Amino acid sequence: MLSAQHGQEIIDLINLRVERSMNGMAEKNLTNDAMPTDTIETSDAKVMGKTPLVTVLMITYNHAPYLSDAIHGVIMQKCDFPFELIIGEDCSTDATRKIALEYQKEYPDIIRVIHSSRNVGMSRNSKRIFDLARGKYVAYCEGDDFWCDPEKLAKQVAMMEANPEIGIVHTDWVRSRLIDEEWRHDFKRSVHSRVANKYLQGNLYSCWHFPKILRTCTYLVRRETMAQWYASGLLDNRYPFGDAVLSSWITSRFMVGYIPAVTAVYRVSPNSALRSGAAARISFYKYSLEFDTAARRFFSGTGYGDGYRWDSAASLIIWGLRARDFHAVKYGILDFCKHFTLPNFLATGIKNVIMRLPTLKRQRRWVPASASQCQRK
């Protein structure tokens, strides 16, 4: 291993004066408080259909400008099976709850709204609505994203039903960015159009950390699989992410199914964990390293790779330099020294670069014929 002394020599060379303690990961874990006792469900049992095959789970907080698009993307699904939508409204300060309840009144046979008098946080909100799911399968769409393919669920269910070895089915997607106060997205520039098929389906355990692969708003998973994931203990409420945790766990146990069609639009929020400034990025990557440490113990003996840790440490160093946060730079360098030999450091870095090279070549995907296919009628 590269020694800590060697790491200190590197730091001395770039004349960094930082504290020795690396307590950036010392943020307290969220308490395990029970759900608010006033958590209630607004639904109409008299008109709710028979047990759904699919439950769509939608967590939302202060998503008033976007929630209608998210809900419409679900209710427009064309299926020959029943489905339900459970909206977890987390005590928003805007009109989000009002909008959710209005839609529940309009579609009482499909929509259930869960809410309470205080905010419970993203992880607990997601778990409490999952616990109420009735479907054999669960799909996800957060309140600021939306689906754009009315056959999304039908296609995914057909693949899952025909392939029991598949644990998750995902699809292509596009990003929507706020430009000049308007959300814009280009369906011809889908995220997976530059990702090779071998990184999108099959056994993806060795490349689960590729950030463009699995996006929550495209998932369809068996409910029993998600229950096993929650029970595994791998997810920690402190992590400002859940998709990476699920990706690592599910690819270690199941094959991944893929439908090469754009079915979802992901809004790149300026307030997200990765777009709230350099400090937020640095915190995010420190948590990524903490998760990787836990994952190495959890997946011991399964061939868990080094790619995610390499990416996280490298990103921490880069963003530390950009922010002139030399404590973060030191943190990343010493993490490399602790967990990598020089040959392994080089081999993993080269592997990560090679994995991204196919993104230089555009792949053929189905995309909507026009933006109108994704607009409310």
Residue 61 class from Cβ within 10 Å (0-12 exposed, 13-18 middle, 19+ buried)? buried
Residue 243: the pLDDT is 87
Residue 177: the pLDDT is 85
Residue 18: the pLDDT is 29
Euclidean distance between CA atoms 280 and 289, whole angstroms: 14
Among the ranges given (232-246, 268-282, 285-299), the one the predictor scored with the smallest mean pLDDT: 268-282
Is residue 268 over pLDDT 80?
yes
Q: CB neighbours (10 Å) of residue 193?
A: 19
Euclidean distance between CA atoms 95 and 102, whole angstroms: 11
Given a contact cutoff of 8 angstroms between Cβ atoms, the answer to whether 221 and 137 are in contact is: yes
- 222 phi and psi, to 5 degrees? -70, 140
Domain boundaries, the chain: 4-27+276-340, 40-268
Arithmetic mean of pLDDT over the chain: 85
Among the ranges given (21-30, 147-156, 189-198, 308-317), the one the predictor scored with the smallest mean pLDDT: 21-30
Among the ranges given (26-40, 133-147, 158-172), the one the predictor scored with the smallest mean pLDDT: 26-40
Among the ranges given (29-33, 56-60, 86-90, 360-364), the one the predictor scored with the smallest mean pLDDT: 29-33
- The region, left, alpha or beta by phi > 0 then psi within -120 to 50, assigned to residue 29 is beta
Predicted confidence band at 274 (pLDDT cuts at 50, 70, 90)?
A: low
Predicted confidence band at 195 (pLDDT cuts at 50, 70, 90)?
A: confident
Residue 53: the pLDDT is 97
pTM of the shown model? 0.84
Euclidean distance between CA atoms 270 and 177, whole angstroms: 9
Residue 277: the pLDDT is 80
pLDDT tens, 71-115?
999 999 999 999 999 999 999 999 999 999 999 999 999 999 999
CATH 3.90.550.10 fits 40-268, yes or no: yes
Given a contact cutoff of 8 angstroms between Cβ atoms, the answer to whether 326 and 320 are in contact is: yes
